[in-house]
Amino acid sequence: MYRKLLLTLFLSLLIGVLAACGGSSESDAGETESATDDGAEAEKTDGKVYTVATDNAYVPFEYLDEESGDLVGFDIDLITALAEEAGIEIEIETLEFAGIVAGLGSGKFDIGIAGMTITEERKENIDFTQPYYEAGLILAVTEENADEIQSIDDVDGKVVATRQGSTSQEYLEENTEATPEAFPEIVEAYQNVLAGRADAVLYDLPNVQYYSEKEAGGKLKTVGEKLTGEDYGIGFPKGSELRDKIDDALTTIKENGTYDDIYEKWFGERPEGTEK
């Protein structure tokens, strides 16, 4: 018993030393935290630790839990389940959204999951899985502006807050005469609207809804129709072999109910067209 423990310790140390020697290039981000020291698990994986880039403030997909400080959310549960299904080891890194899209394009990260919409433009630099969530954009205002701004048709000449590098920023620039004000973090956009410094906010419907209900105490109100289809996909550097692995895993967990369980946990109901 004691000898076995010693042997395990020795092996973990050895693995640690080997990892330190081999992975000198970009391994300052706590790689050892998730590196496996469990023999059984190591057999299942390919021995590599893949970096997953995600956002840190995008409710309810990925955000820091106020009480525990842990990174939680639909995307976090999803990528954890997918990594397990695909038999790969991951470590998660958070950064602001625009950096995720850029970092995947340049191959800095192996995987990106951040409520990221699949767009033709992004597909030029990033490979995506099949869609895993269908969102859409929605406009929101405070009570004071609710008469004046009733839909996207009323935003011309108005300051509309949103987030840098997002599909909403692009929508405002291409389809309206509004003055977009894009912040690195979407929470800043909401705060500016609540403080009366911007007239409205345009962002992804599930995020706007969740933020208004849970964080803004009902002071933000959505107006008008949901705009455009926004299919979220998991992103990879172009040509990554991981894309098919994760895409297959996604097909499997959509079929076996794991996806539906995660969905229900975060959205309070099972996705349309599925039963328990």
**Site residues (vs ligand GLN, CB under 6 A):** 55, 58, 97, 114-117, 163, 166-167, 186, 204, 230
Q: CB 109 → ligand GLN: shortest distance, Å?
A: 14
Q: CB 230 → ligand GLN: shortest distance, Å?
A: 6
**Token output for 46:** 């390919």
Q: Is residue 35 helix, strand or coil?
A: coil
Q: CB 104 → ligand GLN: shortest distance, Å?
A: 12
Q: Which residue's CB is nearer to ligand GLN, number 58 or number 211? A: 58
Q: CB 154 → ligand GLN: shortest distance, Å?
A: 23
Tokens 């929605």 map to which residue?
A: 138
Q: CB 118 → ligand GLN: shortest distance, Å?
A: 8
- Cα–Cα distance for residue pair 177/66, rounded to 1 Å: 38
Q: CB 40 → ligand GLN: shortest distance, Å?
A: 35
Q: What are the beta bridge partners of residue 58?
A: 62
Beta pairing, strands 200-204 & 159-163: parallel
CB distance 221 to 142 below 8 Å? yes
Q: In Å, what is the CA distance from 100 to each residue of 28, 88, 115, 180, 235? A: 18, 20, 11, 21, 9
**By C-alpha distance, which of 132, 169, 171, 136 is closest to 249?**
132
Q: Which residue's CB is nearer to ligand GLN, number 32 or number 80? A: 80
Non-local (6+) Cβ contacts of 143 within 8 A are 219, 221
Q: Which residue's CB is nearer to ligand GLN, number 166 or number 209? A: 166
CB distance 91 to 255 below 8 Å? no
Q: What are the beta bridge partners of residue 127?
A: 236
Q: Is residue 36 helix, strand or coil?
A: coil
Q: CB 253 → ligand GLN: shortest distance, Å?
A: 21
Gap between the terminal Cα atoms of the chain: 44
- Cα–Cα distance for residue pair 15/25, rounded to 1 Å: 17
- Cα–Cα distance for residue pair 149/136, rounded to 1 Å: 19
Q: What are the beta bridge partners of residue 51?
A: 91
